[in-house]
């Protein structure tokens, strides 16, 4: 089961975030999907679609890489790195052309091969610093 759950998580990341195929969300996620990300305005698939479009508009070359993937029971945990170049508006920040790298940890609950719940924690402060929106310490 763990390998099948890891495969479902990888489809979610590769097809949706890396390829921008938001239509695939209905295939890889359960109808009762809940996104626990506080940045998701609706905590459902429509909010994920908005987030993916916003990220891919701001960082058209975005690439998420799973650095470590652990699975146990119905949960998959992925430590990831996101790379991209800021070429479009993001959170009201005009394009800077700067390359960015952030890291984070995602948790997915998988049932019957579909993502049912999703939690994420990424270095948003580091991203804002890289974009020049927040000064670096010191």
Check pLDDT > 90 for residue 39: no
- 61 and 41 in contact (C-beta within 8 Å)? no
In this prediction the pTM is 0.91
Rg (CA), the chain: 15
Looking at residue 38, its pLDDT comes to 85
pLDDT band at 85 (very low <50, low <70, confident <90, very high): very high
Instruction: State the residue for tokens 């938001």.
Output: 22
* Residues in a beta bridge with 66: 80
Domain 2-130 fold is Nuclear Transport Factor 2; Chain: A, (3.10.450)
Check pLDDT > 80 for residue 131: yes
pLDDT digits (tens, 9 = 90+) for 58-72: 999 999 999 999 999
Please state, in angstroms and as integers, the Cα–Cα distance from residue 70 to each residue in 30, 57, 78, 134, following that order.
21, 30, 6, 33
- 25 and 16 in contact (C-beta within 8 Å)? yes
């Amino acid at each position: 089961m763990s390998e099948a759950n890891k495969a479902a998580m990888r489809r979610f990341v590769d097809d949706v975030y890396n390829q921008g195929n938001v239509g695939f969300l209905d295939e890889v996620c359960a109808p009762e999907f809940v996104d626990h990300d506080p940045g998701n305005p609706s905590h459902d698939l429509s909010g994920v679609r908005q987030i993916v479009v916003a990220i891919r508009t701001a960082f058209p070359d975005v690439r998420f890489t799973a650095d470590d993937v652990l699975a146990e029971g119905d949960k998959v945990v992925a430590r990831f790195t996101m790379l991209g170049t800021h070429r479009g508006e993001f959170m009201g920040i005009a394009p800077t052309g700067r390359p960015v790298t952030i890291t984070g940890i995602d948790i997915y609950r998988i049932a019957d091969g579909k993502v049912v719940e999703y939690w994420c924690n990424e270095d948003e402060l580091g991203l804002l610093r890289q974009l020049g929106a927040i000064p670096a310490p010191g």
